[in-house]
Amino acid sequence: MSPVPVGGPALFIGTDTAYVALVRPELDPADPGVRLAAERAGVDPEEFAGAGDVWAVMVEDDGEGDGFELPGVRDAEPAGFAERLRAELAAASASAPGAAPRPFTVDGGAVLRLEARPAGGAAYAFTARVTPPDDGTSQPRAVETGPVPTAELLADLDAFLGSLAS
């Protein structure tokens, strides 16, 4: 479920054409911005390479993409969001046989709210409500995803949480 490679920890929720993602990209020493910053600092670009320390939210909705940085966000905040989402999905998966899956909401703080609804079989569809920090130009967005298989999302959540623990 990771339509865009970012290198660092990343959690994509949705499909290839409609998703929301929490990412902490790795810095690429070949990136012109990294090279310029390294030059100004008087060091090799490779010294700047590796995991970045700034989280970002990315959204895509039928070819319309956007994203914004989340300055000051620590790893614990995306991890907490992922843990809450995992707990809700696991609880829904462990419900009594024959019981109908239930909708639920996971609050990711001021910038992200995820509303989940059953989407047939063992899948959920999501409405991601994304509110960028006030920069004077960005507008809140709602992204509707198609069905996401629960087992795949649980595996992605485990991998994401594992990447933050290492």
User: Per-residue pLDDT tens for 34-77?
Assistant: 777 777 777 777 765 656 678 889 999 988 888 888 888 888 99
- DSSP conformation class of 57: E
pTM of the model: 0.81
Q: What gap in Å lies between CA 102 and CA 70, rounded to an integer?
A: 31
Instruction: Tell me which residue of 28, 34, 27 sits closest to 53, measured CA to CA.
Output: 27
Locate all alpha helices (DSSP H) within the chain, ordered by sequence: 32-41, 45-48, 76-93, 150-165
**pLDDT at position 136 over 90:** no
Q: How many CA atoms lie within 13 A of 41 on its CB side?
A: 12
Q: Among 26, 3, 27, which Cα is nearest to 156's?
A: 3
* pLDDT value, residue 85: 97
24 vs 82, more confident: 82
- Helix axis angle for 150-165 and 76-93, nearest 10°, is 150
The answer to whether residue 4 scores a pLDDT higher than 60 is no
Amino acid at 50: G
CA–CA separation, 27 and 129 (whole Å): 28
- CATH number of the structural domain 10-165: 3.30.2450
What CA–CA distance (Å, rounded) separates 10 from 157?
Answer: 9
Nearest by Cα to 156 from 106, 92, 80, 82: 82
